Structure 1
Amino acid sequence: MTESAALHTEHRHWVLIACMLAMFMAAIEVTIVATAMPTIIADLGGFAQFGWVFSIYLLTQAVSVPLYGRLADIWGRKRLFLIGISLFLTGSVLCGFAHTMTWLILFRAFQGLGAGAIMPLSTTIVADIYSPRERAGVQGWLSSVWGVAAVIGPLSGAWLVQHFSWSVIFWVNLPVGLLSMLLLARFLPVRTASQGARLNLTGSCWLMICVTALLVALLQAEALGYWLLPFLLLALVAGWRLKQHEQRAAAPLFPLALWRSRLIVAGNAGNLIIGATMMGISAFLPTWIQGITGGSALQAGSALAMMSIGWPLASTLSGRLMLVTSYRFTAQLGALLLIAGSALLLLLRAESSVIQAGVTAFVIGTGMGMTSTTFLVSVQNHAHYEIRGICTASIMFSRMIGSAVGTAVMGAVLNLNLALRLPQASDPMQKIMSPETRQALPAEQLHHWTGQIAASLHWVFVVAMLIALLTLWIAWLMPRQRPEAE
């Protein structure tokens, strides 16, 4: 098995369907759980631990992604993918039986360990069974899964919680995951493990320590206070030790080919930036709609869903565009769309409509879809089969780290601006986000607060646009060539 897995055409579509089902299961998990959280908190209590339900899932997923990618290159995609889905489904079942918030957080960590296999290995398997020329279009199909999940997730979550126990939102993963496993077990051939290859355990330990410390520091910065510094120091030391170890190791966790290839480095840098920019809209556009314009949660969710619609549409288009132009042209066009969408954020005003916010989100989504697909396909086409798993995993890993960094940086910019503009106000953001508290505020005070918070959010959007500008430089590093047939 060299560049592409030796599958018959009639089998490939079943493998693709299996990968799409697995990705759908992982994608819908985020939105469906978020919808059900108020009900879960009402039943289990533990509101103070609310953030950890999401943070621990992201943490264990991010830590495990590069490990799955490397192990898939060593032991084969099929074995690791089935292990990952099994862990995810086991965690899902256990989450449904959680009787306290602490147990739910523990089981979510287990669920995240399985989720770390689904995203990178789905895209790696699809890259294995389709030629370089076909990959560009097929990755668009995988991206469409996220758009569908973004729409179905909140609606199905609300319906299930209303008519059944909240436990069902975790258990609905079972039929989807089992069907995906059955299809892969039947149609995906087993690849012989690489002779003599082994996982670098020391490097893996340093990586887990570094990523865990960094993500805890970024995701829990407000709660940690001064304890943030020891976590950042630990991440820095572990990262330095990882770098030293990788340079000396006979079998490095990240093969040297990853760092010697300008294209692979550019693809990872591009996804790091995309992840950071994405948080400028995912975290703060709903805040603008609900806090500044006084819109509802449904309006905020509807505007944000436009990004999830624009992403798969642009991803599919980029697959076709790469075939007639080049990686560089497609990536540069996507970068320009991303920059334009980020600039549109700065045009939002208190009287701006939800439609304007939705259009802005759609433009940003198209830019993200076009650039991320181009970076991913170019890296997969450039990487040899033996390292394609870790190369694909590194792309996903970079986007996750970028999202965490973007959230922390833009959150810090917002908090700094609020401290400077409203020094006497006690938690003004929370008060204007709550409809009851908002209505109780005097009109003059509400007008003053919304004006200052709007100005603070505009600085967040400025940071998002500056980060987006970097994608244009990354896109220039892409080669002037098209995806070539084998």
Structure 2
Amino acid sequence: MTLTAPAAAPSPVRGRGVAIGAAGLAVLLGALDTYVVVSVLEDIMRSVDIPINRIQLATPIITWYLLGYIAAMPLLGRLSDRFGRRLVLQASLALFIVGSVLTALAHTVPEVLVGRVVQGVASGALLPVTLALAADLWSARRRAAVLGWVGAAQELGSVLGPVVGVGVVTLVHNHFSSVPRDDAWRVVFWINVPLALIAMLLLQFTVPKRAVTKQKVDVVGGLLLAVALGLSVIGLYNPEPDGTDVLPPNGAWLLLGAAVAFVLFAVWERFARTKLIDTEGMRVRPFLAACAASVCAGAALMVTLVDVEIYARAVLERDGVAAVLTLVRFLLALPVGAILGGFLATRIGDRVVSVAGLLVAAGGYVLISMWPTDVLSAHYLGFLPALDTSLAIAGLGLGLVIGPLSSAALRAVRLSQAGIASALLVVARMSGMLIGVAALTTFGFYRLTTILDTMPAIAPQGDITKTIVAMARRTQEAYALMFGEVFLVTAGICLVGAVFALFVAGRRDESEQSPTDAEETLVPSR
């Protein structure tokens, strides 16, 4: 197939800002869907007859989505290397529509699970393929800023997702009486249909068409890796951590199955002619360093999302929405950090910003680990609220590394491998989230039990009310001490990530192609 030279037709780079903006909207849509279910989970439970006091029965709605999201990501990323970013993005959005319709029509738990798995598979392709699209359209020196904006769109979904869910359900309750109250949550998923169609249309007219290459795709390797990742997700996600078991029931067997699948994948990749992950032309050490740093950043992120809310309930005595809103400071700082980190990385380098971001995050977690039980009245420098400031610092630090780590990983591979490389980087981050929260939640509950056992017992007092208050205060202090240790460990994880970041591809490490090469691998959209 003859490629269209830049001189013969309008350069696709002219409209690349619009193209990445359209793809970024698709990323935001997928991110919203990831987090929106949190705010409508109880409504879904009522519709599929799950008792509200048996919330553990609803956890597969989340875990199966994660399964689809992570498992199919590497294969879909590789398919985008073969068939082009636009085609895979549009196919993923079409599949996303199918999953949304299945979820909206579901009346039983299995039906909801099927819909969520399909949505997860579709959403899993949107972020890595958009990152790869940025690599296609921008040179290695300039793409970090763009990757920061894409990362900001992803993180913005974590802020807006729950808000959108609550907002849509409230709007339906108040203004659409014809919709049964228990079915209002379905509108959240029906809305995905027109939004995804709009995104597909925008992609058609903005994202340049890539010339289809003759390289083959290792479907067998992709499926083996999908099985391994899927079993890992189910084996690591424990919906009811109690401080004694790190893994859920049967988790050890599932992880054993995952290990077998990983071994089979490695053997297949060793002897297969067509490989899913082709290391030819890849600078392996810098790429693995970027993935390792992403694992650490992901672990810190997920621990924060889970434990700050629990802290708000147990120590600050906040309930429901108030506990969730405690995270807003952290969540808002993430996209701000992502944009700032990308901007800085284009000027001083990916490695410098990645290391600095993780060090800033570590400092934030050290401050969080020192929260007193009356943190709401504590201030830094006399006027900075301690809780808000420390959460914002941690979020800003983790946000700073999003663009630079993505850019560094893409520097280490050829453009023809950008899809699979981006997918592996996102998988690394998600794996860190699962491993981090599983390990540190178990550690935290274990330490809580130990701390309570070593604290002086509360002697019975004549006034039963005073005894109850004293016991509650004792438990509150134990939780504060426990979370202090958990967040101190989280700071250590960020420091380890900073060490890994020292070995990522630096500013002088250029990709195999020049800035104009990206234009020569694309033809204008038709």
Q: What is the TM-score with the length of structure 1 in the denominator?
A: 0.90
Q: Which moved more, 1:1-10 or 1:336-345?
A: 1-10
Equivalent position to 1:302, from 325, 335, 353:
325
Residue 28, structure 1, aligned to residue 51, structure 2: no
> What corresponds to 2:485 in structure 1?
459
Inter-partner Cα distance in structure 2 for 1:29 and 1:81? 16
1:156 CA displacement: 2.5
Equivalent position amino acid for 1:204 in 2 = G
Residue 90, structure 1, aligned to residue 98, structure 2: yes
Contact 2:148/2:343 (CA < 8 Å) preserved in 1?
no
1:285 CA displacement: 0.8
Provide closer, same or farther for how the CA distance between residues 483 and 229 of structure 1 changes in structure 2, counting only shifts above 3 A.
closer
- SS where residue 285 of structure 1 aligns? helix
> What corresponds to 2:397 in structure 1?
367
Inter-partner Cα distance in structure 2 for 1:27 and 1:61? 11
Inter-partner Cα distance in structure 1 for 2:473 and 2:227? 46
1:440 CA displacement: 12
1:306 CA displacement: 2.0
Equivalent position amino acid for 2:447 in 1 = N
> What corresponds to 2:457 in structure 1?
none
Residue 267, structure 1, aligned to residue 303, structure 2: no
1:153-232 equivalent positions in 2, closer than 5 A: 153-164=161-172, 165-195=184-214, 197-220=215-238, 222=240, 227-232=250-255
Equivalent position amino acid for 2:49 in 1 = G
Q: Whose helix fraction is larger, Structure 1's or Structure 2's? A: 1
> What corresponds to 1:420 in structure 2?
450
- SS where residue 330 of structure 2 aligns? helix
Cα RMSD, aligned residues only: 2.7
1:483 CA displacement: 8.2
Provide closer, same or farther for how the CA distance between residues 100 and 423 of structure 1 changes in structure 2, counting only shifts above 3 A.
farther
Contact 2:308/2:327 (CA < 8 Å) preserved in 1?
yes
Inter-partner Cα distance in structure 2 for 1:3 and 1:450? 67
Inter-partner Cα distance in structure 2 for 1:33 and 1:159? 13
Inter-partner Cα distance in structure 1 for 2:124 and 2:197? 17
Equivalent position to 1:393, from 423, 436, 453:
423
> What corresponds to 1:358 in structure 2?
388
Q: Deviations over 1:8-50 (max 9, x none)?
A: 4553233122112101111111332211112222332224421
Q: Which moved more, 1:52-61 or 1:454-463?
A: 454-463
> What corresponds to 2:87 in structure 1?
79
Residue 406, structure 1, aligned to residue 414, structure 2: no
Structure 2 unaligned regions, length at least 5: 173-183, 242-246, 378-384, 455-464, 516-526
Q: Which moved more, 1:145-154 or 1:22-31?
A: 145-154
Inter-partner Cα distance in structure 1 for 2:446 and 2:281? 38
1:442-457 equivalent positions in 2, closer than 5 A: 442-457=468-483
Contact 2:20/2:207 (CA < 8 Å) preserved in 1?
no
- SS where residue 199 of structure 2 aligns? helix
Provide closer, same or farther for how the CA distance between residues 481 and 188 of structure 1 changes in structure 2, counting only shifts above 3 A.
closer
1:143 CA displacement: 2.6
- SS where residue 284 of structure 1 aligns? helix
Equivalent position amino acid for 2:297 in 1 = I
1:222 CA displacement: 4.8
**Equivalent residue pairs, number:** 471
Provide closer, same or farther for how the CA distance between residues 423 and 91 of structure 1 changes in structure 2, counting only shifts above 3 A.
farther
Q: Deviations over 1:381-428 (max 9, x none)?
A: 34222111111111111111111111111121123223434579xxxx
Equivalent position to 1:317, from 335, 340, 343:
340
1:229 CA displacement: 2.1
Provide closer, same or farther for how the CA distance between residues 271 and 225 of structure 1 changes in structure 2, counting only shifts above 3 A.
closer
Provide closer, same or farther for how the CA distance between residues 251 and 3 of structure 1 changes in structure 2, counting only shifts above 3 A.
farther
1:226 CA displacement: 5.6
Inter-partner Cα distance in structure 1 for 2:78 and 2:201? 24
Provide closer, same or farther for how the CA distance between residues 327 and 48 of structure 1 changes in structure 2, counting only shifts above 3 A.
closer
- SS where residue 72 of structure 2 aligns? helix
> What corresponds to 1:15 in structure 2?
19
> What corresponds to 1:428 in structure 2?
none
1:187 CA displacement: 2.7
Q: Deviations over 1:106-137 (max 9, x none)?
A: 21011111111111111211221223333122
Provide closer, same or farther for how the CA distance between residues 230 and 155 of structure 1 changes in structure 2, counting only shifts above 3 A.
closer
- SS where residue 265 of structure 1 aligns? helix
1:248 CA displacement: 1.9
1:2 CA displacement: 11
Provide closer, same or farther for how the CA distance between residues 275 and 147 of structure 1 changes in structure 2, counting only shifts above 3 A.
closer
Contact 2:31/2:155 (CA < 8 Å) preserved in 1?
no
Equivalent position to 2:139, from 123, 131, 134:
131
Provide closer, same or farther for how the CA distance between residues 257 and 276 of structure 1 changes in structure 2, counting only shifts above 3 A.
farther
- SS where residue 362 of structure 1 aligns? helix
1:201 CA displacement: 3.0
Inter-partner Cα distance in structure 1 for 2:487 and 2:159? 25
Contact 1:413/1:459 (CA < 8 Å) preserved in 2?
no
1:191 CA displacement: 2.2
Percent of pairs with identical residues: 24
1:291 CA displacement: 1.2
Provide closer, same or farther for how the CA distance between residues 226 and 118 of structure 1 changes in structure 2, counting only shifts above 3 A.
closer
Q: Which moved more, 1:244-253 or 1:440-449?
A: 440-449
Contact 1:331/1:370 (CA < 8 Å) preserved in 2?
yes
Provide closer, same or farther for how the CA distance between residues 258 and 172 of structure 1 changes in structure 2, counting only shifts above 3 A.
farther
Q: What is the TM-score with the length of structure 2 in the denominator?
A: 0.83
Inter-partner Cα distance in structure 2 for 1:388 and 1:201? 17
Provide closer, same or farther for how the CA distance between residues 153 and 440 of structure 1 changes in structure 2, counting only shifts above 3 A.
farther
Q: Deviations over 1:437-470 (max 9, x none)?
A: xx99921221122222222222322321221111
Provide closer, same or farther for how the CA distance between residues 67 and 451 of structure 1 changes in structure 2, counting only shifts above 3 A.
same
Structure 1 unaligned regions, length at least 5: 425-438
